[in-house]
Amino acid sequence: MEDKVVMITGASRGIGEAVALEFAKRKAKIVLVARTPEDLERVRGRVLDAGAEDVLTITTDISKEEEVEVMLDVTLSRFGRVDILVNNAGVGYFKPVVDTTLSEWQTMFDVNVTGLFLCTRGVLPKMLEQGSGHIINISSDVGRRTIAGGAGYCATKFAVQAFADALRKEVQRQGIKVTNILPGMTDTYFANSEQGAEHKRDWLKAEDIARAVLYAASQPPGVLVDDITLHPMVQEY
């Protein structure tokens, strides 16, 4: 991973922060992307302390095309390439369909699907030019199953799975890898919950997901990891 340029969305806390720290320990160059500049600066300090060669923070709403274009321009001006894109940013509202507002539905699709598409489409020209690259999506195990009260969120993750599977068929022969990470119950701040809450004690940790990302990214050029599904031992599914 030394000198690889790794762009991580949703990098201000939780899984994104953990992923950044894993790559930092291996001397990568890190691009931290999120909507909150104060949180990005906090993570930047931790990532530098962990050993990153260089760290760039870019405040971006990935659901907005013009902001994603600026993000990519700034990154390429600084580093000239993107080797790994970790599409981690995501939002979720969990309630019955009858109680889900159109705004909530649209927000989930704007971030979880459109944002992922914009970031992926943005890095692809440079990766195709390089003849190498790796797109890693932090999806969810509900990209392959469903849960009551999560119809909208499940729909976005099914969309991510389909998008990734189709994209892989487009770009695999051109040296670009596409991997989906599908975690089960994970102890983070997701959906405005409390990280470290007692009822999450036996859930997956952000670091578990980060190690899965690193595993996929660390394979030799001829090895592709399509999907990694992780569940805590306490989860029934």
pLDDT at 147: 94
57 pLDDT higher than 80 = yes
pLDDT digits (tens, 9 = 90+) for 64-75: 999 999 999 999
Q: What is the pLDDT of residues 175-190, one digit of tens each?
A: 999 999 999 999 887 8
Question: Which residues are 56's β-sheet partners?
Answer: 31
The active-site residue out of 93, 153, 215, 237 is: 153
Q: Does domain 5-230 have CATH number 3.40.50.10300?
A: no
Mean pLDDT of the 128-136 span: 97
Eight-state DSSP code of residue 172: G
Residue-level pLDDT at 207: 96
pLDDT above 80: residue 141 = yes
Q: Which pLDDT does position 157 carry in this prediction?
A: 98
13 Cβ contact partners less than 8 Å away, ≥ 6 residues apart: 39, 43, 188, 189, 195
Handedness of CA 93, 232, 220, 13 (dihedral sign): positive
pTM of the model: 0.96
pLDDT value, residue 196: 81
pLDDT in tens, 189-213: 787 788 888 888 998 999 999 999 9
Helix axes 102-109, 151-171, angle to 10 degrees: 20
152 pLDDT band, cuts 50/70/90, is very high
> Any catalytic annotation for residue 153?
yes
What pairs with residue 74 in β-bridges? Answer: none
